[in-house]
Amino acid sequence: MQKILERAEAAGEQLSYDAVVIGGGIAGMEASLSLADMGYRVLLVEREPTIGGKMFLLSKVFPTLDCASCIATPKMAAAARHPNITLWTYSEVRRVRALDRGAFEVDILRKPRFVNESLCTGCGLCEDACPVVVPKELDFGLRGRKAVYIPLDTAVPRKAVVDIDNCILCGQCERRCPAGAIDFTQKPRVYRVRARAVVIATGCRPFPAELKEAYGYGRTPNVITALQMERLLAPTRPYNAVLRPSDGREPGNIGYVLCAGSRDVTAGNPRCSQVCCMYSIKQAQLLLGALPLADVTIYYMDVRAYGKGFEEFYQRARSMGVKFVRGRVARIEGLPNGDVRVMYEDVEEGRLKSAVHDLVVLAVGLLPDNEVLKAFEGVTIHTDELGFVKVDPEDPVRTNVEGVFAAGCITGPKDIPDTILEAAAAAMRCAAFLKEVEARQT
């Protein structure tokens, strides 16, 4: 794909919008919908073939245990259908230039799907026909996908995409597609877009668990991340059951290691990731529902249950039988039978101990997904020492560049309600800025 993208051609048309929103997670969708409802024309740009961000991969949300995709999918559909929102998925912002007050020039690369979006009906027959199987990114490798695939059943847009790097060009999908939608002649195009404001909503990426070598992720098959567990518990889950990866057995004894890559100077991230305690407590409760005979142990330093209803949620997990062990985990190793040994310091007893689990889940922290900041030319968006976008403490959606706003996990780890709140605030501030610019121009 890289070679193909290098030959991207400039698209002739000049497009213009009131705001370009970068990132189609819950923050970007919410900000776009708020601006669009106020009558502004928004271009929502998402790097992946579907919008939804992390939220539509989740099982349920703490502390209400509402189904995450039941909340996310109507928003995804609304963002895709809103007459004031143009949605570009599978697209990358290549360059952002501030020309003047309230005038940005944004170059956006639209990658070829090799599928004609207006013809594709999302029937999935091409997937059945394709002989190539590779690990599925959205399930973090827990299952495979074909070289032509629909990202998830709930994807928006529900359109196929050809992963050209793994495609063997056998043409089976093309022959099978009843709509004639497969199109290997598609080319990448770079569009130059004029916008009066920009909202950065590129969210977070999980801490790369393999960097914490002592925890064995990548070497020990039954050490997984919390995002993998989210997928195992989600309605669109891989096996329709919680199974451990090495042998497909139902785990009877699961350990959670909190602060895996957070509050850890040795891992380069001294900060608390804010959501890991709560999502682990949530997953523990869901596991006790899915596997009623299972034991769940959570190794923690402190439990940070700071929000409304969080303490009660934590106490509920305790009363359901989730075991909380206060201890810093030093090392995790795989045993020949696939089980996993956790070595830790029991802080309350002041002793080194170990315990064996069928499956261990690393509650990985959140880091900023801030690649897009490199695309800004002539201006630098200020970040903190970890790379999260710095915002004005008195106006926490405003960046140092006039007309550029930020919302969601790109400004710091946070949960979904706070993300939504921030996105609505960013839309409001952006609307006020647009009004001010309009007033000056008239």
Ligand X SMILES: Cc1cc2nc3c(=O)[nH]c(=O)nc-3n(C[C@H](O)[C@H](O)[C@H](O)COP(=O)(O)OP(=O)(O)OC[C@H]3O[C@@H](n4cnc5c(N)ncnc54)[C@H](O)[C@@H]3O)c2cc1C
Residues interacting with ligand X, by CB under 6 A?
Answer: 22-28, 45-48, 53-55, 58, 61-62, 92-93, 201-204, 206, 226-227, 230, 275, 279, 282, 369, 371-372, 408-409, 414-416, 419
Q: Which does residue 108 touch among ligand SF4, ligand X, none (CB within 5 to 8 A, set by kind)?
A: none
Give least dist CB 24 to ligand SF4, A.
21
Pick from 29, 160, 286, 340 the residue near ligand SF4 by CB under 6 A. 160
Question: Rounded to the nearest whole angstrom, what is the least distance from the CB of residue 183 to ligand SF4 in the complex?
Answer: 9
Query: Considering the complex, what minimum distance in angstroms separates the CB of residue 151 from ligand SF4?
Result: 12
Out of ligand X, ligand SF4, none, what residue 204 binds, judged by CB under 5 to 8 A for its kind, is ligand X
Rg (CA), the chain: 23
The nearer residue to ligand SF4, 176 or 271, going by C-beta atoms, is 176
Q: Name the residue nearer to ligand X (CB basis): 30 or 174.
A: 30
Distance separating alpha carbons of residues 38 and 157, to the nearest angstrom: 24
CB 117 within 8 A of CB 162: no
For residue 152, the minimal CB distance to ligand SF4 (Å) is 13
- Which residues of 263-391 form beta strands (DSSP E)? 295-300, 323-334, 340-346, 351-357, 359-364, 366-368, 376-377
Residue 340: name its binding partner from ligand X, ligand SF4, none (Cβ under 5 to 8 Å by kind).
Answer: none
| 45 vs 147 by CB, closer to ligand X | 45
Could you count the other beta carbons within 10 Å of the beta carbon of residue 423? Answer: 29
With CB under 5 to 8 Å by kind, the binding choice for 46 among ligand X, ligand SF4, none is ligand X
Sign, Cα dihedral of 145, 149, 153, 155: positive
CA 409, 414, 415, 416 torsion-angle sign: negative
Distance separating alpha carbons of residues 157 and 86, to the nearest angstrom? 12
Residue 251 interacts with which of ligand X, ligand SF4, none, CB < 5 to 8 Å by class: none
**Shortest Å, Cβ 3 to ligand SF4:** 17
What phi, psi does 110 have (nearest 5°)?
Answer: -100, 115
201 neighbors 28 (Cβ within 8 angstroms)? yes
DSSP one-letter code for 115: B
CA distance 163 to 72: 25
- Shortest distance, position 125 Cβ to ligand X, whole Å: 27
Shortest Å distance, C-beta 270 to ligand X: 19
CB 182 within 8 A of CB 170: no
CA distance 134 to 145: 6
Residue 415 binds which entry of ligand SF4, ligand X, none, CB below 5-8 Å type-dependent: ligand X
Shortest distance (Å) from residue 92 CB to ligand SF4: 22
- What is the end-to-end Cα distance of the chain in Å, rounded? 46
Q: How far is the CB of 136 from ligand SF4 (least distance, A)?
A: 14
Cβ proximity to ligand SF4: between 153 and 395 the closer is 153
Tokens of 190: 């770079």
Q: Which does 162 bind (CB under 5 to 8 A by kind): ligand SF4, ligand X, none?
A: ligand SF4
Task: List the single partner that 132 binds among ligand X, ligand SF4, none, CB under 5 to 8 Å by kind.
Answer: ligand SF4
Query: Angle formed by the axes of helices 26-37 and 68-81, to 10°?
Result: 40
* Binding-residue pattern over the window 91 to 130 for ligand SF4, x denoting contact by CB under 6 A: ------------------------x----xxxxxxx--xx
Which CB sits closer to ligand X, 119 or 375? Answer: 375
Sheet holding 340-346, edge to edge: 223-225, 359-364, 253-260, 295-300, 323-334, 340-346, 351-357
Binding-site member from 1, 70, 133, 168 for ligand SF4 (CB under 6 A) = 168
CB atoms closer than 10 angstroms to residue 38: 16
Q: State the Cα–Cα distance between residues 390 and 387, nearest whole angstrom.
A: 8
- Min dist CB 126 to ligand SF4, Å, is 3
Length of the chain: 442
- Of the residues 61, 152, 162, 201, which one makes contact with ligand SF4 according to CB under 6 A: 162
Tell me which residue has tokens 């961000």. 53
Residue ranges binding ligand SF4 (CB under 6 A): 115, 120-126, 129-130, 132, 147-148, 160, 162, 167-173, 176-177, 179, 181-182
